[in-house]
């Protein structure tokens, strides 16, 4: 059994982690924590997330002393904001824990990225070198001996799973940047109330045009430039990405199908459509990324869907943990 601590357990991602880890046969949840000042400290997780009633009835505790909280803990999940993870990860690593960070604090290697896109100066450049980017289907070898795993962002997971097989096989024409239009449910912004995310305000709208922090994350890990436009939709969960690309001359629909099949036929959490394209309703609440596509001449449209909180965050974190410790990849996820 591995002892595990979830930091940020009352957030959307943290609560899903608690559900997955609670039913994992090799994991023992030793603590669920929130910030030292949290108004929720002392409450039961299942009072805050009633879907967990009778399943995870543990109290959430304020994280006041990291060294104390880390005692006897093998694995820590940081389901916290980027700045919080940035400060906590080195402390848990120093205590000998394997750290799975769901935030953006360690995903990109260039320090200036954090100043520009996250608004803080990165203090742990050594960890930027050491962190393994947890795009699970593509990183199994590196994950096996990683100490710090930077779980990808929600939009980057869907976007990269859709594009990587095509790029690896050299099918895309580099004269046209892939154009990623992706719509997310409101849970992508976290559980805290804000005016922009309130019921009467949310509509359907693109945001952060040419300036969203997931664009450079996608570009660094795919190795090609892309145009990325996120949209906020008026539904709670899920991301649907519609990605338009140009194929190299002579590339056929069959070549595209083969590239996807070769990449994912043995990857249980990516489901390929041989007919049609996926809809959001078929992945919400599930740990999959679903991918379908259509080709017309040299033009290709790929559609990828996922639950932003699951394959886009918690499920992928648990998938990485399963790979890291040699458990079946889908253990507790399916």
Ligand X SMILES: CC(=O)N[C@@H](CCC(=O)OP(=O)(O)O)C(=O)O
Ligand Y SMILES: NC(=O)C1=CN([C@@H]2O[C@H](COP(=O)(O)OP(=O)(O)OC[C@H]3O[C@@H](n4cnc5c(N)ncnc54)[C@H](OP(=O)(O)O)[C@@H]3O)[C@@H](O)[C@H]2O)C=CC1
Q: Does 189 participate in binding ligand X (rule CB under 6 A)?
A: yes
Q: Pick from 79, 90, 96: which is nearest to 31 by CA?
A: 79
Q: Are 28 and 1 in contact (CB under 8 A)?
A: yes
Nearest distance from C-beta of residue 38 to ligand X, angstroms? 20
Identify which range of 130-138, 163-171, 183-191, 320-328 contacts ligand X by CB under 6 A. Answer: 183-191
Which listed option, ligand Y, ligand X, none, makes contact with residue 292 (CB within 5 to 8 Å by class)? none
CB of 229 to ligand X, least distance (A): 11
Return the range that interacts with ligand X (CB under 6 A); candidates 49-57, 182-190, 275-283, 296-304: 182-190
> In this structure, are residues 308 and 187 in contact, taking their beta carbons and an 8 Å threshold?
yes
DSSP lists the bridge partners of residue 272 as 291
Site for ligand X in 1-60 (CB under 6 A): none
Two structure tokens written together for 135: 């795009």
**Nearest distance, CB of residue 314 and ligand X, angstroms:** 12
Query: Contacts with ligand X in 98-117 (CB under 6 A)?
Result: 103-104
x/- map, 199-238, ligand X, by CB under 6 A: -------------------------------x-x------
In the DSSP assignment, the letter for residue 208 is: S
Name which of 63 and 154 has its Cβ closer to ligand X.
154
What strands, in cross-sheet order, belong to the sheet with 205-206? 205-206, 227-232, 179-184, 239-246, 299-306, 289-296, 270-272
230 binds, among ligand X, ligand Y, none (CB under 5 to 8 A by kind): ligand X
Please, is 223 exposed, middle or buried when counting C-beta atoms within 10 Å of its C-beta (0-12, 13-18, 19+)? exposed
Using CB under 6 A, which of the segments 46-54, 88-96, 121-129, 181-189 binds ligand X? 181-189
Part in contact with ligand X (CB under 6 A); list of ranges 60-68, 184-192, 282-290, 297-305: 184-192
DSSP conformation letters of 286-316 = SS-EEEEEEEETTEEEEEEEE-TTIIIIIHH
Shortest distance, position 173 Cβ to ligand Y, whole Å: 31
Q: Which is nearer to ligand X, 14 or 104 (CB)?
A: 104
What residues pair up with 2 in beta bridges, in sequence order? 27
Q: Is 233 left (phi over 0), alpha (psi -120 to 50) or beta?
A: beta
Shortest separation between residue 176's beta carbon and ligand Y, angstroms: 28
Helix (H, G, I), strand (E, B) or coil at 183: strand
Query: Comparing C-alpha atoms, which of 100, 49, 52 is closest to residue 78?
Result: 100
Residue 121 · residue 114 · CB < 8 Å: yes
Q: How far apart are CA 233 and CA 203, in angstroms?
A: 6
Distance of alpha carbon 280 from alpha carbon 45, whole angstroms: 28
Q: How many residues bind ligand X (CB under 6 A)?
A: 9
For ligand Y, the binding residues (CB under 6 A) are 7-14, 33-35, 38, 40, 63, 79-82, 84, 102-103, 153-154, 187-188, 190-192, 308-309, 312-313
* Closer by beta carbon to ligand Y, 171 or else 186: 186
Q: Tell me the three state secondary structure of residue 99.
A: strand
The residues annotated with a catalytic role in the active site are 154
Please tell me the distance from the alpha carbon of residue 151 to that of residue 235, in angstroms, as a whole number.
24
Task: Identify what 165 binds: ligand Y, ligand X, none; CB under 5 to 8 Å per kind.
Answer: none
Q: Is 153 in the site for ligand X (CB under 6 A)?
A: yes
Q: Which is nearer to ligand Y, 192 or 275 (CB)?
A: 192
CB of 254 to ligand X, least distance (A): 34
Work out the angle at residue 286's Cα, subtended by the Cα atoms of residues 213 and 145, and round it to the nearest 5 degrees.
65
**Residues contributing to the site for ligand X (CB under 6 A):** 103-104, 153-154, 184, 188-189, 230, 232
């Amino acid at each position: 059994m591995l002892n595990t601590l979830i930091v940020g357990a009352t957030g959307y991602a943290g609560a899903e982690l608690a559900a997955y880890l609670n039913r994992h046969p090799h994991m023992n949840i030793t603590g669920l924590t929130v910030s030292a000042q949290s108004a929720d400290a002392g409450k039961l997780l299942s009072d805050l997330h009633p879907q967990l009633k009778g399943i995870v009835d543990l109290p959430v505790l304020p994280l006041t002393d990291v060294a104390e909280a880390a005692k006897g803990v093998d694995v820590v999940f940081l389901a916290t904001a980027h700045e919080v993870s940035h400060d906590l990860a080195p402390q848990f690593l120093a205590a000998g824990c394997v750290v799975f960070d769901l935030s953006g604090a360690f995903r990109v290697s260039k320090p200036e990225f954090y100043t520009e896109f996250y608004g803080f100066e990165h203090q742990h450049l050594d960890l930027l070198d050491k962190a393994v980017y947890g795009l699970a289907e593509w990183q199994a070898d590196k994950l096996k001996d990683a100490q710090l795993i930077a779980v990808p962002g929600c939009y980057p997971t869907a976007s990269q799973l859709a594009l990587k097989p095509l790029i690896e096989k050299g099918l895309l024409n580099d004269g046209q940047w892939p154009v990623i239009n992706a719509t997310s449910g409101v849970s992508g912004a976290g559980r805290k109330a804000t005016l922009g995310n309130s019921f009467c305000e949310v509509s359907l709208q693109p945001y952060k045009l040419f300036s969203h922090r997931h664009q450079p994350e996608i570009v660094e890990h795919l190795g090609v430039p892309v145009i990325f436009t996120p949209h906020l939709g008026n539904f709670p969960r899920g991301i649907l990405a519609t990605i338009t690309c140009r194929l190299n001359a002579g590339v056929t629909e069959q070549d595209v199908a083969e590239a996807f099949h070769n990449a994912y036929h043995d990857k249980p959490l990516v489901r390929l459509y041989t007919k049609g394209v996926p809809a959001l309703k078929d992945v919400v609440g599930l740990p999959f990324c679903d991918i379908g596509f259509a080709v017309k001449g040299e033009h290709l449209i790929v559609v990828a869907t996922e639950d932003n909180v699951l394959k886009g965050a918690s499920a992928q974190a648990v998938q990485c943990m399963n790979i890291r410790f040699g458990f079946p990849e889908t253990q507790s996820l399916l």
